[in-house]
A and B are shown apart, each in its own frame.
Chain A
Amino acid sequence: MDNSVSSGSLGSKLSSSRQPSVDSLSSSSTSRSDRSYHTKPDPSSDSVSTSTAFSPELRVLRDANKLAQLEEPRLLPKESIQDMAKDVTYICPFIGDIRGTVTVTNYRLFFKCMDKDPAFVLDIPLGVISRIEKIGGASSRGEVSYGLVCKDVRNLRFAHKQEGDARRSIFENLMKFAFPVSNNLQMFAFEYGQIFPGNGWKVYDPIAEYKRQGLLNESWRVTKINDHYELCDTYPAVLVVPVNIPDEELKKVAAFRAKGRIPVLSWIHPESQATVTRCSQPMVGVNGKRCKEDEKYLQAIMDANAQSHKLFIFDARPSVNAVANKTKGGGFESEDAYQNAELVFLDIHNIHVMRESLRKLKEVVYPDIEESRWLSNLESTHWLEHIKLILAGALRIADKVESGKTSVVVHCSDGWDRTAQLTSLAMLMLDSYYRTIQGFQVLIEKEWLGFGHRFQLRIGHGDKNHTDADRSPVFLQFIDCVWQMTRQFPAAFEFNEYFLITILDHLYSCLFGTFLCNSEQQRVKEELQKKTVSLWSYINSQLQEFTNPLYVNYSNHVLFPVVSMRHLELWVGYYIRWNPRMRPQEPVHQRYKELLAKRAELQKKVEELQREVTNRSASSSSERAGSPARSITPIQTFV
């Protein structure tokens, strides 16, 4: 019953079954009551740092308050409390005003209300905040309030009783630590020194990954030309190119491609040798410039695949935009210049359209949902339509490679937004390895981080310039598309929904170094691997949280999702997770765990029975000996 949530019950729902102090890692935890955090072996929680950087006033405030210990979050290593204020009102759009204590650390904003039982808690990494604004000096109640606009589809509002130092200092500290880049401070990721059992930075090794794909063969080679990021500063050091194109020619091709992003191999089909290659737009310009080397290069890509005498070039943009790019020197391959190549436009809109669509979506889902007009409101955001176009594009690519055995070249303008979406989704459809937890990490490291999706710019880590036109939810769309696929193929992915949400939460949190910077070159320069922790270290330390119990390893199985709007859904578990009326009725996560347990139990039973049968048949007649013993293995491979 959607009108059934009384103010009394909500607080308890919000924080029920969790110990607020433990779930320090993710902002999502404030809403997800379906995870049991108690048992989580969170390595960050057992080493509570003793914060030292205390101002005297703060200490007084702290000592004066006997409950202070309880009102603070449990801190991460190197996390320190910067500010605290009591009697702050959190103006919750769902249950009204809640009075409690606000704590600001160098990593998070923490709000706790002790009056409720269990206590009401908000725990938000500051990185999630995209904008902080003061709302008026004098409201009707004599309170002053400020609002936080968050990157994860919610807004928060706090109010202080009176204008005063407390508010000012909270506000200033928020401004300071939420936007470290604008304040010339270090991101918290560089301080957070948690040790995890495994090193997530080692998850991806480009050479090993290309070898896994069956490279390097007689047609493709690794070039060292970009070892120092001289050919292209937004590309990784390791590039795979056709064997018969010497490095000298690569340079000429780079000159013809926007930002020097030459076509390089992303994926090769294990049987047909059809490839997925990616690049940026050719610098054709209004005059229709041509480049011999570039034409030869694409021919080489086609020739590397003996199965087909055609090459498909997928331009992610709408054709109008591609034409418009000619005035800026860009453009697309003409079919005259590129023999045997067929150009296809995929009609995916640019980052600005996507940003606007997400803004509309946020309006529709947060905080209130208009019940009777929900579907048409959702339609008017066009969000699902964009998701559909991206998936449809990826599907066409995967289909060409798998069914047509044809090699494809994918590009948009710069080849780091839509191209990354398309290639990574197509690879997810084509290669079951990327549907494992480890494989998905490799996919992100390779197609997104390696090939220079500009995370810093698109997310705006620690930057207070919230109107920056470079911000766009490109990566969010990719994860949304992945989620859509997991809905259609629930058994084909090793990871669960929580895995995807965790990735998105830490995309913004700036706790880990994974999504910082814009390119591999910058990451090397910043020594991220040395100075920060990888998100994968954290995730891989507790895989059971992220595992899909229904997973069956279909090696070699290609997924062709249905991309009709009729079969796409809004990802309620992400976009509407803050709304207490949308909580899943059943703790799905819990249920998954139960399923895993049940499976283990049944497996054990099967084994026991097998053994018993073996024994019995062995004892009842000797001629049967030997046959039953091998029986157990298939079940294990099956599950």
Chain B
Amino acid sequence: MLTGSKTSFKIKQLVPDFKDKTLNFSNTALRSRETSDFKCLPGERVLQRTQPVRKPRAGRGSSLTGALLCTTFRVAFVPEEGVAKTEDRDSVPVFLGEHDVALASIERVVAVSPSRWKVLSARSSLRFHPEELVLFCRDLQVLRFHFEKSSAESAEITSAIARVYQPSVPASLSSFQRSALGSVEVKQYLSNRGADPQMNWFEGLQDWERELARTGATAWRVSSVNDRFEMATSLPKFNVVPQRILDTELKRTFAHFTEGRIPRWCWHHPEGSDLLRAASFQSNIYHEKHDARNLEALLFGRHPQCVIVEVGEDMPPPSEIQAAHSRLRALCLGDIPASLSVSDEKWLSSLEASRWLDHVRSCLRRSAEVSCLLAEGDLAVVLQEAEDRDLNCVVSSLVQIMSDPHCRTLPGFQNLVQKEWVSAGFRFLHRNNYTRDRDKEESPVFLLFLDCVWQLLQQFPSHFEITEVFLLTLHDRAHLPLYSTFLFNCQRERGRNTQHLSQSYTPVNGWQELVNGGLAPGSGGPSFPPVWDWALHCTPERRDSFRNPSNTPLSPGAVPNGNSETPPSRELSDCSGSGPGLVLLFSKGSLGPAPHLLPWRNAGGAASGWKNHRRAPSRDGLSRLERALKGQPLGPRGPLLPLLLGPCLRVWRGCYLRGALQTQVPPPVSSHLHVDFLASEVERLRGRLALAKGLDRHGNCKRAESRGTNQKPRQETTNHNFLFAGNRGTGCSPERRYTQTPTRGQKHPKLPP
């Protein structure tokens, strides 16, 4: 993906020349590096530091002791003991440690003393020495720090945090971004990051072709008519359309859809069906006769039947999703530290009244219905939503997660988000509302999607390679305005802002800033990494728990990949003929013939001829599909159909209730850790075996390298997780800790010198 490798090479050489310019920065960074275990990012400065501070841990009564730091980028907590320092082989440290929180995530700073508490803003002055500092974060975390002694120092750091966090002005947003990503070192580092070969960014032509090949879709091609975003600004450059429609014909169809978001192919079911998504029809334009034919070609692909699914119907609009999320949030966090706003007795009914779970249910239900339709084969299912930019993203991706095992793997899931959200033009920037100036458009549609995935994960734990930890991390990172993934509304904006084709790293900005002496904020803003570059902002321990190792490996036969059969020939003969197929409308949970599918048919005239040679809906096909909707047992290859009864949908405690003040408990253990541990054990031993083999041949040289990894004392954190899982590195109090830990060292006998 990285196209600018040459440039990055130049930068490497240039860096020494500019060293003195950054000297001041590095010096401060250097100093703070010396004074503690805390490692600053290049350009990050420590503003305030105090210790000892206690951070309560999951479980009761136990806490970590360490130092609390406020920097230009984050609030960091460095525990004194216990946390294994991973050798930093890369030059740039992990952006956020396990105990860190980025300034932009903080929503409210509260200082607490025994007698009072105060919500602090930049201007407010603190007239008492707080005993406790509580940070409410956007991602529903609540971090609490107890100062061992409330003193001027505790007041200082509290006010320092209150001064710098100020998240709501655009200027502070960009200064935050600069503090994280703006330094020369970081830019240079980012420009040298290689792209993950497993990632499909859905940017270039070949990306889409890869996906067509993977799913085995043959009747489709990638069109580049939108190459310059002339046809539809919010659509990607490349869109997949039926083989048989020509680009010239295609161009005429854009006008018929809101924002020009024509029906585009998303996914191909191994049984032959295809999933498409589109915005609603534009009804107020002039239609010519062959427009109808083009549209029809676009909707049907090669299928004899086409089902239009009204996605927006009976589902919450984005504003309601936002309202429900706010209610849920208020319910889970409470408003102020002193009291929970909702009494425990009323928790269940308040949860119900938030309606969040109802919305989760309606997304899952609609997606399950669509999955059942697709499993029937021989259909084009078109998801239609007014703008095709909110619930269509949710439903199309949930359908694929239910139906395509590949989308439940880690790379598969990331690719899916790229395809159905990032590339499809979900308005991440507006929906996330990082700058707090678009409150009307803010809506956690993406978080709703993550919750739906979590529900599926709960019900089908062994069908997923991704884990709750992964979903949770993604949930939290979506609140950080640092990633190209979440900072733009569509591919066009993304490209324009990074001045580069690829949304992966761009060395150009770094280069320009170097040339301009770092003084050109307009042209040389920081380049944003994609959120998928986990190594950049997650500790290795956390990344290790992204994958469920006991997830049943995908047997090649069961995967709808390129190897699967192409659709049976009957459908080809069916629709290669001139007659249009059967259009059905899926509405209110049932199927029916679509009376007014295309808007101009009401007006009569132009398309009447078209209407005449349409087949009457065959009862046969209809009942077959209706049966499919009823969810017949679909066999091992069938989609995962979630249970939706009240007791089956749960509140995602590990996410929403992390911060509840009275209930700082570990989220439920992800069940695989045991096996996880053994699996890594096997890996390690395999490594040692290879090493031993290597030794036979090469003597000493290899030995030294691998020792570091072998002895990485990971098991301590792993241990805790059996009792206190979820957040790694938290756990029981040391004195009552699992007693076998000390013997651990013997398990991997040192390779003798």
The reply to whether A624 and B674 contact each other, CB–CB distance below 8 Å, is no
Near A by CB (< 8 A), chain B positions 336-374 give: 344-349, 351-353, 357-358, 361, 365, 368-369, 372
Residue pair A1, B369 in contact (C-beta under 8 Å): yes
Judging by beta carbons under 8 Å apart, are B61 and A403 in contact? yes
Closest chain B residue to A487, Cβ basis: B668
Beta-carbon nearest neighbor of A372 in chain B = B358
A627 contacts B744, C-beta separation under 8 Å: no
Answer whether A557 and B732 are a contact pair too, CB < 8 Å, given A631-B747, A634-B747: yes
A609's contact among B61, B653, B671, B685, by CB below 8 Å, is which? B685
A4 within 8 A of B: yes
Does A558 lie at the interface of the complex (its beta carbon under 8 Å from any beta carbon of B)?
Answer: yes
Contact B747 A582 (CB under 8 A): no
Q: Does A603 contact B (CB under 8 A)?
A: yes
Partner of A369, one of B353, B646, B668, B673: B646
A567 touches B692 (CB 8 A): no
Q: Is residue B640 within 8 Å, beta carbon to beta carbon, of the partner chain?
A: yes
Q: Roughly how many angstroms separate A267 CA and B257 CA in the complex, as a whole number?
A: 74
Given contacts A1-B631, A371-B646, A373-B352, contact A631 B746 (CB under 8 A): yes
B550 touches A617 (CB 8 A): no
Interchain CA distance A370-B647 in the complex, whole Å: 10
From A200-208, A280-288, A516-524, A569-577, the one touching the partner chain is: A569-577
- Cβ-based interface call for B740 (8 A): yes
Residues of B within 8 A of A373 (CB): 352
Q: How would residues 553 to 567 of chain A score, 1 for a CB under 8 Å from any chain B CB and 0 otherwise? A: 011111110101111
Q: Which B residue sits closest to A618, measured CB to CB?
A: B692
With A6-B632, A602-B681, A606-B685 as contacts: A567 and B740 at CB distance below 8 Å: no
**Roughly how many angstroms separate A616 CA and B344 CA in the complex, as a whole number?**
61
Report chain B residues within 8 Å CB of A385. Answer: 345
Asked if A217 CB lies within 8 Å of chain B CBs, one says no
Question: Is the pair A585, B669 in contact by a Cβ cutoff of 8 Å?
Answer: no
Contact status A562-B746, CB under 8 Å: no
Does B84 sit at the interface, judged by CB under 8 A? no
Annotate B623-658 by CB proximity to A: 1 below 8 A, 0 otherwise. Answer: 000000111110000001111111110100100010
Partner of B723, one of A557, A591, A630, A638: A557
Query: Quick one: closest B residue to A6, CB to CB?
Result: B630
Whether B678 pairs with A2 at a CB distance below 8 angstroms is no
Contact of B738 among A6, A549, A557, A628 (CB under 8 A): A557
Q: Which of A565, A572, A584, A627 contacts B348 (CB 8 A)?
A: A565
A602 B678 Cβ-Cβ under 8 A:
yes
Q: Chain B nearest CB: distance from A494 CB in Å?
A: 13
Q: Interface stretch among A132-140, A176-184, A253-261, A375-383?
A: A375-383
Partner of A612, one of B459, B630, B689, B740: B689
Asked whether A489 and B723 contact (CB < 8 A) given A375-B349, A566-B344, the answer is: yes
Check if B599 is an interface residue, CB within 8 A of chain A: no
In the docked arrangement, what's the CA distance between A620 and B689, Å?
Answer: 12
Known A379-B348, A379-B349, A634-B747: A606·B663 in contact at CB below 8 Å: no
What is the distance, in angstroms, from B9's C-beta to the closest C-beta of chain A? 41
Q: How far is the CA of A559 from the CA of B736 in the complex (A)?
A: 11
| Chain A residues, Cβ within 8 Å of B61 | 403, 560
A639: which B residues are within 8 A, CB to CB?
674, 678
Given known pairs A564-B662, A565-B347, A613-B689, the reply for A9 and B633 (CB within 8 Å) is yes
**CB of B248 closer than 8 Å to a CB of A:** no
B736-A5 in contact (CB<8A): no
Q: In the bound complex, do residue B645 and residue A599 qualify as a contact, i.e. CB atoms below 8 Å apart?
A: no
Q: How far is the CA of A518 from the CA of B686 in the complex (A)?
A: 59
Q: Give bound CA distance, A595 to B685, whole Å.
A: 21
Residue of B nearest to A616 (CB): B692
Check if A598 sits within 8 Å of B675, measured CB to CB.
yes
Q: Is A444 an interface residue (CB 8 A)?
A: no
Smallest Cβ distance from A625 to chain B, in angstroms? Answer: 9
Nearest-neighbor residue (CB-CB) of A374 within chain B? B646
Contacts of A603 in B (CB 8 A): 678
* A635 in the interface (beta carbon within 8 A): yes
> Cβ of A490 and Cβ of B663 under 8 Å apart?
no
Residues on A with beta carbons closer than 8 Å to the beta carbon of B610 = none
Q: Is B612 an interface residue (CB 8 A)?
A: no
For A617, give its contact among B644, B650, B660, B692 (CB under 8 Å).
B692
Chain B positions within 8 Å of A617 at CB level: 692, 695, 751-752
> Are B631 and A5 within 8 A (Cβ)?
yes
A225 CB–B CB distance under 8 Å: no
State whether B681 touches A384 (Cβ < 8 A).
no
Task: Give the complex CA separation of A490 and B663 in angstroms.
Answer: 18
CB <8 Å contact, A609 and B689: yes
The verdict on B748 contacting chain A, using a C-beta distance below 8 Å, is yes
User: Which residues of chain B are within 8 angstroms of A638 by Cβ–Cβ distance?
Assistant: 677, 740
Minimum distance in angstroms from B692 CB to a CB of chain A? 4
Q: Does A586 touch B at the CB level, under 8 Å?
A: yes
Complex contact A585–B640 (CB within 8 A)? yes
Q: How far is the CA of A92 from the CA of B393 in the complex (A)?
A: 40
Give the residue name and chain of the B residue nearest to A549 (CB): B674
Whether the Cβ atoms of B669 and A490 lie closer than 8 Å is yes
- Distance in Å from the Cβ of A393 to the closest Cβ of chain B? 15
> Interface code A1-22, partner B: CB below 8 Å = 1, 0 otherwise?
1111110110010000000000
In the complex, B555 has a CB within 8 A of chain A = no
Q: Which partner residue on chain B sits nearest A557 by CB separation?
A: B736
B688 cross-chain contacts in A, Cβ below 8 A: 609, 613
* B620 close to chain A: CB less than 8 A: no
Residue of B nearest to A373 (CB): B352
A589 interfacial contact with B, CB 8 Å: no
Q: Are B643 and A565 in contact (CB under 8 A)?
A: no
Does B569 interact with chain A (Cβ within 8 Å)? no
A466 within 8 A of B: no
| Interface status of B462 (Cβ within 8 A of chain A) | yes
Q: Once the chains are docked, how many angstroms separate the CA of A584 from the CA of B740?
A: 36
B17 beta carbon closer than 8 Å to chain A: no
Q: Check A554–B348 contact: CB distance below 8 A.
A: no
How many angstroms between the C-alpha atoms of A634 and B678 in the bound complex? 12
With an 8 A cutoff between CB atoms, is B25 at the interface? no
Contacts of B18 in A (CB 8 A): none
B714 CB → nearest A CB, Å: 13
Q: Smallest distance from the beta carbon of B514 to chain A beta carbons, Å?
A: 49
- The answer, yes or no, to whether B15 is at the interface (CB within 8 Å) is no
CB atoms of A606 and B640 under 8 A apart = no
Write out the residue numbers on chain B whose beta carbons fall within 8 Å of the beta carbon of A12.
633
Q: Which of A356-375 contact B (CB under 8 A)?
A: 365, 369-375
Q: A567 touching B657 by the CB < 8 A rule?
A: yes
Tell me the bound Cα distance from A579 to B663 in angstroms. 32
Smallest Cβ distance from B606 to chain A, in angstroms?
Answer: 40
Task: Write the chain B residue with the least CB distance to A388.
Answer: B344
CB distance from A634 to the nearest CB of B (A): 4
Known: A567-B663, A609-B685. A631 touches B749 (CB 8 A): yes
Residues of B within 8 A of A (CB): 59-61, 332, 344-349, 351-353, 357-358, 361, 365, 368-369, 372, 459-463, 550, 589, 629-633, 640-648, 650, 653, 657, 660, 662-663, 665-666, 668-669, 671-675, 677-679, 681-682, 685-686, 688-689, 692-693, 695-696, 722-723, 732, 736, 738-740, 743-744, 746-752
Known: A557-B736, A585-B640. 19 other contacts (CB 8 A): A2-B643, A4-B629, A6-B632, A371-B361, A379-B347, A491-B723, A552-B674, A557-B723, A562-B665, A567-B657, A572-B648, A581-B645, A583-B643, A595-B550, A599-B674, A617-B692, A631-B749, A638-B677, A638-B740
List residues of A whose CB falls within 8 A of some B CB. Answer: 1-6, 8-9, 12, 365, 369-376, 378-379, 384-385, 388, 403, 487-492, 549-550, 552, 554-560, 562, 564-567, 569-570, 572, 576, 579, 581-586, 591, 595, 598-599, 602-603, 605-606, 609-610, 612-613, 616-617, 620-621, 623-624, 627-628, 630-631, 634-635, 637-639
16 contacts between A and B (CB under 8 A): A1-B372, A4-B629, A371-B644, A374-B647, A376-B348, A379-B349, A549-B674, A550-B671, A552-B738, A557-B738, A566-B332, A586-B460, A606-B682, A613-B688, A617-B692, A637-B743
Q: Nearest 3 pairs between A and B by C-beta?
A: A374-B646, A4-B631, A375-B352
